[in-house]
Amino acid sequence: MISNVFTVDPWCVHEPELDVDLLGQTESLFALANGHVGMRGNLDEGEPHRMPGTYLNSFFESRPMPHAEGGFGFPEENQTLVNVPNGKLIRLLVDDEPLDVRYGQVHDHQRTLDMRSGILTRHVEWTSPNGQRVDVTSQRLVSFSQRAVAAISYAVTIPEDSESDALLVIQSELFANEQMPEITGDPRVAAALTKPLAPEHNSHSTYGARMTHQTKRSELRVGAAMEHQVFGPDDAKVESSCSKNVGRTTVICRLKPGQTLRIVKYLAYGWSSTRSQPAIVDQVEAALDASLYTGWDGLVTAQREYLDAFWARADIEIDGDPRLQQAIRFSLFHVLQAGSRAEKRAIGAKGLTGQGYDGHSFWDCETFVLPVFMHTNPRVAADALRWRHSTLDIATAHAATLGLKGAAFAWRTIRGEECSGYWPAGTAAFHVNADIADAVLRYVSATADDEFEREVGVDLLVATARLWRSLGHHDSASNFRIDGVTGPDEYSAIADNNVYTNLMAQRNLRGAADACVRHPREAERLGVHSEEIASWRAAASAMVIPFDEKLGVHQQAEGFTSHAFWDFDNTPEDAYPLLLNYPYFDLYRKQVVKQPDLVLAMVQCPDAFTPEQKAANFAYYERITVRDSSLSPGTLAVMAAETGHLDLAYDYLCESVQMDLADLENNVRDGIHLAATASSWTAIIQGLGGMRPHDGTLSFAPRLPSAVSGLRFRVLWRGRSVHVEIGHGQATYTLEEPTTGQGGPSGMSATSSEPLDLRHHDEDLTLTVDEPVTLDIPAAPQTGVVEQPAGRAPLFRRLHQ
């Protein structure tokens, strides 16, 4: 764990010194991306490293998926995110000695990720083995304003007190098919691919190089290009070359004490499954020309302007806990990096920060990531759902293979095909379909984007509703059952009537019926008739929701509360996560929860439970939830806050928001936990802020834990910006004038003069622009003690006891 490595700063993550043993973690934490291009935070010179990585969203290679025992409908191929040509490499030789932090003497090494500028800065003071000292400052950005572009400013200075000048050689490279380290032992870690890129074309100019490659199996084509500007002595020599896999620009000059050599490296990337090699070359050439036209200063200015607009609508201000303040901004920054310019492509579970999970997208995106964008940058949420819509044909074919109607979306995928080889935790986790439908319903509710609902939403809602009607059945008592499925808790599988799945399917069925009534033309196009709509409503009304009358709690799935309890007292701490130390057979038949399945149902479907049921359910499942998933603490924080356990909510919030910065699960080296960073927003906005959408109205029920003295945030709701300020006794709501750059869809019709109705702790209020309303916060409900399994109290609390 690395909780004390970084300086606490509200807007920066600053590493005051280099720890080579933590390079894997910092490569992920210092990764830069824009949703289209991603670059791990490797050192400029490339080595030492744990995992080099430059990624393009949805650029993958296929590979066969072997099965110990095959079965009908099993997926035959996997898809793995590919490391594209690495343009980060800038090697420095000082009098023939390469800069390498493992040799010579490092006097100072600092890196800073500035979340306002979007720039990673590195400063190194180094003396070579032969005694020559140099100061190196590099700055790196992946542009939000120019989607295909990244840039690096690299400056080398000979200190004025040096006794001699130095001969410098800078080798700036574009390197394809890098040798990747082999990683084994953890099934969640991506498989390494050996030289997946087949060379097609290469060329060079005086100041740069271009190359295209094609993947061998998926036949995707990628283009990469680099160009340089050189600032230094007039006699500096510049030359470039390019072979099949290596493009290199070399700058040579002699620097005197006090002199500086600076190069600016511009990079452009593009890929396609259909465009020709010349078209790809032209595409990246155009992007490169645009970056040169803009220049380094222009890219920096545009980056700051983009982020200023983002933080103006998305920032969360926390009083009383500086570390929490830093971590929530870090989380929001990485969420933005993962999706901002994804533009109708998948948002993976690791974003573009590493190859963990092979770069796949899961249900995590719709459930945890998209709500952040719905209330901060709705366009991104709409684009992500349009990507799901683009895979509808694949999902429909998958359902047909399974003997079902409608669409069965993949549990994990890049392009849409199912890539999970373990069907009990993959294909059987049908709730992903309801999660997608839920995201559609939440997006439409948050934005009133009627055009999106007509063009995309109705298709997705109808296809998923048809799946549930096909997958479930009415029993002899006319109850609607969904049997043999897996819910969010991956320590349970193939269960009957999982509460989360059934409630989400119920919402899906009703939402589809309502959407078809609102949009009869789209319903007719899809062949939906009144009888089918009636069958959806009937199934929803008759949905089985298991409840244990004796214990007074809902069962995670039918019969779950009758299972034997896991022996937590005799489970050693180093045996977690359990999935790496115990067979699934043993986990599946015990009361032990990996991630809060039933609790998530209460968060996602709050109106399906009474306050008393929520309190009882939370207490019961808290005793058996081990949180072996990074998805857990954010969800638990929301329900802990709602049931009055405010200090516990704070503990879980800290665990969620520090998941990556403190490397709480010891695997951030494989990429950040995007859903955990996003659920940090949920833990604050829905947990401490108590925000819930309900029947077209936004409601808040804020309360703060003792460790937080104040909280301020904004949310977008139907084109309006609502500023919320929370203290320990009162909350103030302000309806702000709309601002440009909110990323809203075209379907929003609200104007600045319209009032906005909200709810505060079941009290109605109406806001008008720039007229704040302050209301008292009622006391939290009386709570009993809730306990976690032995040794599984909130991790961040245990770290600081």
Tokens 């991956």 label which residue?
A: 490
- Most distant pair of Cα atoms in the chain: their distance: 93
3-state SS, residue 594: coil
Q: What are the structure tokens assigned to 23, written together?
A: 């390079």
Separation of alpha carbons 225 and 214, rounded Å: 15
Q: What are the structure tokens assigned to 579, written together?
A: 């999935």
Tokens 């890219």 label which residue?
A: 299
Q: What is the DSSP letter of 20?
A: G
Q: What is the DSSP letter of 356?
A: G
Residue 627, Cβ neighbours under 10 Å: how many?
Answer: 26
Please check whether residue 432 is in contact with residue 360, taking contact to mean a CB–CB distance below 8 angstroms: no
Tokens 């830069």 label which residue?
A: 32
105 is in an annotated binding site: no
Half-sphere CA count of 147, side-chain side, radius 13 A: 13
550 is in an annotated binding site: no
The backbone torsions φ and ψ at residue 513, rounded to the nearest 5 degrees and listed phi first, read: -60, -45
Beta strand extents in 479-627 (DSSP E only): 480-481, 547-548, 553-554, 564-565, 590-591
Q: What are the structure tokens assigned to 8, written together?
A: 């606490």
Tokens 């400056």 label which residue?
A: 155
Residue 151, Cβ neighbours under 10 Å: how many?
Answer: 26
Helices and strands, number each (H, E), in the chain: 20, 34
The alpha-helical segments, DSSP class H, found in 475-547 are 499-518, 520-525, 530-541
Tokens 């969203």 label which residue?
A: 57
Bond from prior residue into 257 cis (ω within 30 degrees of 0):
no
Half-sphere CA count of 111, side-chain side, radius 13 A: 18
Cβ contacts of residue 214 below 8 Å, gap of 6+?
Answer: 197, 198, 200, 220, 221, 222
Separation of alpha carbons 435 and 332, rounded Å: 22
Separation of alpha carbons 761 and 768, rounded Å: 19
490 is catalytic: yes
Q: What is the DSSP string of 305-326?
A: HHHHHHHHHH-EEEES-HHHHH
Q: Which residue from 125, 137, 126, 133 is spatially nearest to 166, judged by alpha carbons?
A: 133
595 is in an annotated binding site: yes
To the nearest 10°, report the CA torsion of 353, 354, 360, 361.
-20
3-state SS, residue 711: strand
Tokens 């511009």 label which residue?
A: 266
Separation of alpha carbons 79 and 348, rounded Å: 12
3-state SS, residue 738: coil
Separation of alpha carbons 331 and 94, rounded Å: 38
Quick one: the chain helix, strand, coil %, rounded to 5? 35, 25, 40
Catalytic residue among 45, 490, 522, 532: 490
Q: What is the DSSP letter of 232?
A: S
Separation of alpha carbons 723 and 716, rounded Å: 9
Burial of 562 (0-12, 13-18, 19+ CB in 10 A): exposed
β-sheet with 119-127: strand ranges across: 12-15, 105-114, 119-127, 133-142, 149-157, 260-272, 221-231, 208-215, 197-205
Pairing of strands 756-760, 697-700: parallel
Q: Distance of CA 312 to CAs 1, 734, 742, Å? A: 32, 15, 9
Active site residues: 490
Annotated binding site: 363-364, 594-595
Annotated binding site for substrate: 363-364, 594-595
